[in-house]
Structures are given as structure tokens and as C-alpha cells.
Amino acid sequence: MKSRLPLSVLALSWLFGLTAAQLREPGGSTRSSPRGTRAIRKPASIQRPRIKLPEFGNPDDQPPALEALTPELLDGAGAPLPGEVRRLLKPAPPKRPAPPSGPRRAVSVTCTGSKMIVRVRPAFHGFGATGGELTLGSGCKSNGRLRPSGDLLFRYPLLACGSQKRTPIGYIVYRNVLHYIPAEEPGPVRRSHPINVGVECRYKRYHYSYKLAVHPTWQPPSLLKPLENEKGGFKLQLMSDDWMAESDSNIFYVGESINFQASARRLAAGKKLYIKSCHAALSADPSSQSIYSVIQNYGCMVDSKIKGSISKFVPPRTDSTIKFTIDAFQFKKKPLSKMFLHCTMFVTSSRTSQMAKSCTY
């Protein structure tokens, strides 16, 4: 029984069966014969090298038109190949992409011939995600970890975990979603919220190598958190990242750090500023009911006890200034409400004691 090969296979086999003379770069010169009735070709003194063809390629162009693959009677052995056929057989070298600059992405994807490998950094957008808080697609858990970085791995077949296959023009695409659902936190505030990150593997349909891609689709909402400063002899300022000036913004995202500087004016010699307590509230009234304590017990950063918290006092401190950082959070009941930070400060002798301190757990 005779079998029929696909047209693309037959055409490609015909292309690779061309004679060496057809693949040779045209060269030489012509001169008139004494009779002036025909032209003959004189071999060049230095023969140009033949085109070296790869065993397989990664062409950027679509397959050439069928007219270019049609056999025809050629006049002489040095007839050139059609331009689109030459580009297919010997494409231009691909441009090497510039190495990425800046910090590594929180999520990256590697695509093999049969698997999608999702790699997640432990920091994960500043939230510090754990393996139990992350799932791929329909519920696949992390099944590996890289050492010493601690990156979590999700290594699964392309169509596993609820992946969806799409076939746009010229490509085959496998898409999935990485879900982050943070563990329930005790207390009235939260420091993270659910995130969905889209991941995909994209393959060209006309080659045998692979390409990887990551397209995060999560855009965090704007969390408005105006912070009011006290008036009078004590001052509480919102500072920039380098602590050199006041911050020009009072909008922060969950997981970011917020820098504060408490200061006092006109201190007498031998006196020093301390913070007794600080609490966040949804109201400008310090005595409001919905509060969250950040500093207690005459200067202890109780918020630093929470797992994953970055809250701390920041050196250097002077007699009249105290710097501290807290990580942005939300009240669970009203996550988009503006927030106020209320602090009680006092001045005493410069000697540190149980009733005058600045400690981080």
C-alpha cells in the first residue's frame, strides 16, 4: 500500500535534495567568444564556500509560497535559489536579548518539550508566601524547592492542573494561573491579600525548540492610607526611602515599608525623646474603637513580633529624633479606608530604662 506524506514534508525533502551547484553562491565572470554568438562562464580564481545548512532551524518567516517550491527546468548549474527559499534554509542569526536588569522576578517560568516549570521566590511581591499558600491552576501544590535560594517549584505536564491550550496563528500556547491565598492572620488587620498570576508556555509551530514567557496579570489596588502628623512641640513625619526628606506620597501597597520619624523641638540639655505608644486607627480620633497597636509598653515595637513583619526601630537616633519602619497593612473590615497613626511621645532624662526605651523584638 502506498502512503502519502504531508505536502510540507515532501516540499522540505525536495529543498534539501537540491544539488550542491544550486546551493553554491554564484560567482565568476563572463567574456565574449571570438564569434560573439554565446557567453561562457570562467571559474573564479577563488571558489566561494558553499552555504552550510543547519539540520533543523527556527525560522521567523512562514513557510514559503508553494510556487517557490515547484520544480522547474533550469538553464545551467549556477541558477540562484529564490530569495524566500534561501531565507528559509539559512535564516539570519537571531538577535540575542539583553540580560534582564534589576531584581529577579517574583515568578518565572521555564518551558520544556512536555512540562511547565513555575519558580516562585520566597519574598513573592513582599508577602513572604509559603508552599501551603500557593497553588497552580486547579489545585496543584509545590513539588520541589531550590537550594540555597529556597525558591518554590511547580513542575507539571503542560496540560496538567487545569492548563488551557490555545492555538493562535503560528503558535501553540498553554496557559495557567498561579493562585496565592494567604493564611488567615490573627487580629483586626491583614498584611497581604489573594493574588492571581497568569503563566504561560508559548511555542512556535514551525520549529522544534521552545520559548518561555511570563505575563503577570495581577494589578494591586490603590490602598489609600493618609497619615496625619501631630501638631505642637512633637512632630511625626512620613519619610522617603532614603530618610533624607519627607515622603511626597501617602499612598502605599500592602507589603511595602512605611518610614516614620518622630521628633521634638527645643529640648533642654540632658533630655531625650521617647515614644510611649503608637496605634493605627480608621479615625482621626485617638480614642476610636477600631485600633491596632504598633508600639506599646513605653517603646516596644510589638508589631515586630508578628511572623513576617519588617517593623523595627531604625538607627541612628538622636536625643530629639526617633526613626522607625512598619510594613503596610489593612483593616480586614474596611481594607480601602484611610488610616491614621496616633503616637504618644514624652521627654525624660537621656538614660534608658524600663519606662523609657526603643526596642524591637
Residue range 170-213, pLDDT digits in tens: 889 999 999 999 888 888 888 888 889 999 999 887 643 333 33
Is residue 274 in some structural domain? yes
For residue 64, the model assigns a pLDDT of 53
DSSP state of 289: S
As a whole number, mean pLDDT of residues 229-237 equals 67
Locate 35 and state its grid cell.
Answer: 564569434
Local confidence band at 142 (pLDDT 50, 70, 90 cut-offs): very high
For residue 206, the model assigns a pLDDT of 64
Same domain assignment for residues 247 and 344:
yes
Q: Cell 512641640 identifies what position? A: 233
N- to C-terminal Cα separation, the chain: 82
Percent of the chain whose pLDDT exceeds 70: 64
Q: What pLDDT, in 10s, does the model give residues 317-351?
A: 999 999 999 988 888 888 778 888 999 998 888 78
CA–CA distance, 311 with 314 (Å, rounded to integer) = 9
- Structural domain boundaries, residue 321: 234-349
Local confidence band at 228 (pLDDT 50, 70, 90 cut-offs): very low
Same domain assignment for residues 336 and 292:
yes
Local confidence band at 29 (pLDDT 50, 70, 90 cut-offs): very low
Local confidence band at 298 (pLDDT 50, 70, 90 cut-offs): very high
Determine contact, residues 218/193, Cβ cutoff 8 Å: no
Answer yes or no: is pLDDT of 114 > 80. Answer: yes
Is residue 179 in some structural domain? yes
Is residue 32 in some structural domain? no
Is residue 132 in some structural domain? yes
The CA radius of gyration of the chain, in Å to the nearest whole number, is 34
Is residue 189 in some structural domain? yes
SS3 117: strand
CA–CA distance, 72 with 313 (Å, rounded to integer) = 83
Answer yes or no: is pLDDT of 31 > 60. Answer: no
For residue 232, the model assigns a pLDDT of 43
Answer yes or no: is pLDDT of 77 > 60. Answer: no
Is residue 145 in some structural domain? yes
Number of domains within the chain = 2
CA–CA distance, 130 with 126 (Å, rounded to integer) = 12
CA–CA distance, 167 with 301 (Å, rounded to integer) = 55
Determine contact, residues 153/145, Cβ cutoff 8 Å: yes
Between 216 and 285, the more confident residue is 285
Determine contact, residues 201/174, Cβ cutoff 8 Å: yes
Is residue 209 in some structural domain? no
Percent of the chain whose pLDDT exceeds 90: 30
